[in-house]
């Protein structure tokens, strides 16, 4: 990262190769949270800067990432617009983006090397070479979106997320476009379930997301404390909350905390991908799928995202455990 330009709210990034920013753009461009400009190879999205824990100090920004390099010589330019940021705020944002997009991770190199002994898997990896594990904006945002996606098809779930942001969140206008933010915990905590029902949320889903927001806002649910737990302890603790099962907790470990060894075998997409890869007549059970992945358990998260990609980037509905 070229930090000399950071004060000007723009900086260069040289991710660790292989890194395919175009695959990142393609994967995230279908999400209405992101704006994809394929001609300029630019991905733009809103993000809150949470340099301080208190919501009143959070700043609204819009981030644009432009791809300027190749898979083996990746180069990006990151531009930041929105509310004025202090130098510590800019540094926080740069560090957060580095983690969210895994720019400094060497995991892909090691993952590919370890998988060379399995020709079927290795072929899948090479087909999608350079695709990193891209994370959600944060644990809270990831949890709200994941709960909304439970038991729904992708398009309708995305519509609900957009509706939630438009109706109850904040917006920021940049370059003539409005960008919307998922409501903060305190904002969502005060939204009546009855009002969410009028926006096509089910009774239970409305109760689940407002309940999580209330606990986060009050401090009863502390993600910093949960993040320090092992995978098993994290799943056990988070699964005690209404609306959160094993699959949802696993997704948070994977897509919010970047745990490398998460394999959500309860996901139908994963099991369908294994069935297709191995040429099986029937889909494996959850336990059979976990057993199949056992030799690669240290790379479970990366195995998962590549299996999903092998289905043509169509994430199928997961079973809530």
The residues with which 171 forms a beta bridge, in sequence order, are: 180
- pLDDT at 135 (0 to 100): 96
Asked whether 139 and 223 are in contact (CB, 8 A), the reply is yes
d(CA 59, CA 7): 16
d(CA 254, CA 194): 32
Q: What is the DSSP string of 145-214?
A: HHHHHTTS-HHHHHHHHHHHHHHHS-EEEETTEEEE-PPPHHHHHTS-HHHHHTTT--HHHHHHHHHHHH
Asked whether 63 and 42 are in contact (CB, 8 A), the reply is no
d(CA 159, CA 301): 27
Average pLDDT for residues 210-226, to the nearest whole number?
A: 96
**pLDDT at position 57 over 50:** yes
For the chain, which residues make up each domain, given as ranges? 3-104, 139-255
CA distances from 145 to 18, 190, 244 (A): 29, 18, 12
Expressed in angstroms, the distance from the first to the final Cα of the chain is 41
The residues with which 49 forms a beta bridge, in sequence order, are: 59
Residue-wise pLDDT for 262-272, tens only, equals 998 988 899 99
Q: Of 20, 37, 224, 267, which is the active-site residue?
A: 267
Local confidence band at 195 (pLDDT 50, 70, 90 cut-offs)? very high
Residue-wise pLDDT for 20-34, tens only, equals 999 999 988 889 999
Residue-wise pLDDT for 123-179, tens only, equals 999 999 999 999 999 999 999 999 999 988 889 999 999 999 999 999 999 999 999
Q: What fold, for 139-255?
A: Endonuclease III; domain 1 (1.10.340)
Q: What is the mean pLDDT of the chain?
A: 92
> Of 279, 24, 288, nearest to 132 (Cα)?
24
- pLDDT at 314 (0 to 100): 42
- pLDDT at 305 (0 to 100): 94
CATH class of 3-104: alpha beta
**pLDDT at position 320 over 80:** no
Local confidence band at 44 (pLDDT 50, 70, 90 cut-offs)? very high
Average pLDDT for residues 86-98, to the nearest whole number?
A: 95
Task: For residue 43, give the H/E element and its range.
Answer: strand 42-49
Average pLDDT for residues 76-87, to the nearest whole number?
A: 95
- pLDDT at 1 (0 to 100): 53
d(CA 124, CA 310): 7
- pLDDT at 144 (0 to 100): 98
**pLDDT at position 319 over 80:** no
**pLDDT at position 240 over 80:** yes
d(CA 29, CA 25): 5
Residue-wise pLDDT for 266-289, tens only, equals 888 999 999 999 999 999 999 999
Active site residue 224: no
């Amino acid at each position: 990262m070229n930090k000399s330009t950071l004060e000007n709210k723009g900086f260069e990034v040289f991710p660790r190769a292989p890194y395919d920013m175009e695959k990142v753009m393609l994967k995230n461009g279908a999400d209405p949270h992101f704006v994809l400009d394929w001609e300029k190879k630019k991905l733009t999205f809103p993000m809150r800067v949470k340099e301080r824990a208190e919501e009143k100090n959070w700043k609204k920004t819009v981030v644009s990432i432009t791809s300027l390099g190749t898979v083996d010589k990746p180069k990006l330019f990151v531009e930041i617009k929105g509310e004025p940021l202090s130098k510590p705020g800019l540094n926080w944002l740069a560090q957060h983006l580095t983690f969210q997009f895994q720019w400094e991770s060497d995991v892909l190199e090691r993952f590919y090397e370890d998988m060379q002994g399995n020709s079927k898997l290795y072929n899948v990896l090479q087909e999608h070479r350079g695709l990193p594990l891209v994370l959600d904006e944060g644990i809270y945002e990831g949890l709200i979106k994941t709960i909304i996606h439970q038991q729904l098809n992708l398009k309708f779930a995305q519509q609900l997320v957009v509706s939630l942001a438009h109706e109850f969140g904040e917006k920021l206008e940049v370059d003539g476009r409005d960008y919307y933010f998922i409501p903060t915990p305190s904002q969502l905590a005060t939204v009546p379930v009855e009002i969410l029902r009028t926006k096509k949320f089910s009774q239970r889903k409305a109760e689940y997301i407002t309940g999580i927001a209330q606990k986060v806002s009050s401090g009863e649910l502390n993600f910093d404390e949960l993040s320090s737990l092992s995978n098993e302890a994290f799943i056990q603790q988070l699964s005690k909350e209404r609306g959160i099962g094993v699959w949802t907790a696993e997704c948070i470990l994977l897509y919010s905390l970047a745990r490398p060894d998460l394999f959500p075998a309860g996901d139908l997409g994963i099991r369908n991908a294994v069935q297709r890869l191995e040429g099986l007549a029937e889909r494996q059970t959850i336990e059979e799928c976990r057993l199949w992945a056992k030799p690669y358990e240290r790379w479970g998260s990366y195995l998962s995202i590549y299996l999903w990609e092998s289905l043509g980037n169509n994430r199928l509905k997961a079973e809530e455990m």
